[in-house]
């Protein structure tokens, strides 16, 4: 399955899960800021991905929660430390960090949850089957 095929399916299930128009679901769209996803929607998305692609998905694999638990080694003055960035990269290997690394503000971690993140995650899982 190509990344494009996966994106098409991800797009369709996000339209159902989040009640958004399909032209809003671009690869760059952020689930929370652009598509108004709430916390419970993330689990709904995980379930839909499981059904669509026949996978078992651990919610924390795709959408990790509480990565840093306020640890000062990882977060200082509202920004991620180099250790924090490394930790985030290891927890979210499918996220596009390029823009975030320039301004690693803790509050912007939610912006890493994009449509593209889901597509890349599924591509890695489907390819690995």
Partner 1 sequence: MRWVWIDRFTAFEPGQSATAVKCLSHAEGHYAEHFPGFPVMPAALILEGLAQTGGILVGEVNEFREKVVLAKIPAAKFHRDAVPGEMLTYTVRMLNLSPQGAVVEGRVTCGDELVAEAEIFFAHLDQNRSSQAFGDHNFVFGGELQYLLGMAKLAAKPAELPPAAT
Least separation, in Å, of the C-beta of 67 and partner 1?
15
- Contact present, 92 and 117 (Cβ < 8 Å): yes
Nearest to 117 by CA among 2, 10, 5: 10
What is the C-alpha to C-alpha distance for residues 119 and 73, in angstroms, rounded to an integer? Answer: 31
Least separation, in Å, of the C-beta of 100 and partner 1?
26
Using CB under 8 A as the binding rule, whether residue 69 contacts partner 1 is answered as: no
What string marks each residue from 23 to 62 as x (binds partner 1 by CB under 8 A) or -? ----------------xxx-xx-xx--xx-------x---
Least separation, in Å, of the C-beta of 40 and partner 1?
5
What is the C-alpha to C-alpha distance for residues 63 and 43, in angstroms, rounded to an integer? Answer: 9
Our CB check for partner 1 shows the closer of 6 and 17 to be 17
Our CB check for partner 1 shows the closer of 46 and 80 to be 46
Would you state the structure tokens that stand for residue 73, as one six-digit string? 């080694």
Phi-psi region for residue 77, left (φ > 0), alpha (ψ -120 to 50) or beta? Answer: left
- Can you give the binding site for partner 1, defined by CB under 8 A? 16-17, 19, 39-41, 43-44, 46-47, 50-51, 59
């Amino acid at each position: 399955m190509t990344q494009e095929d996966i994106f098409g399916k991800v797009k369709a299930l996000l339209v159902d899960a989040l009640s958004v128009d399909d032209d809003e679901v671009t690869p760059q769209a952020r689930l929370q800021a652009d598509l108004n996803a709430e916390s419970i929607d993330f689990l709904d998305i995980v379930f839909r991905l499981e059904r669509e692609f026949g996978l078992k998905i651990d919610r924390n694999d795709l959408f990790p929660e509480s990565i840093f638990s306020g640890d000062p080694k990882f977060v200082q003055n509202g920004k991620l430390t180099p250790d924090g960035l490394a930790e985030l990269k290891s927890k979210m290997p499918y996220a596009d960090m390029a823009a975030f690394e320039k301004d690693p503000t803790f509050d912007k971690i939610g912006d890493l949850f994009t449509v593209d993140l889901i597509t890349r995650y599924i591509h890695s899982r489907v390819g690995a089957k």
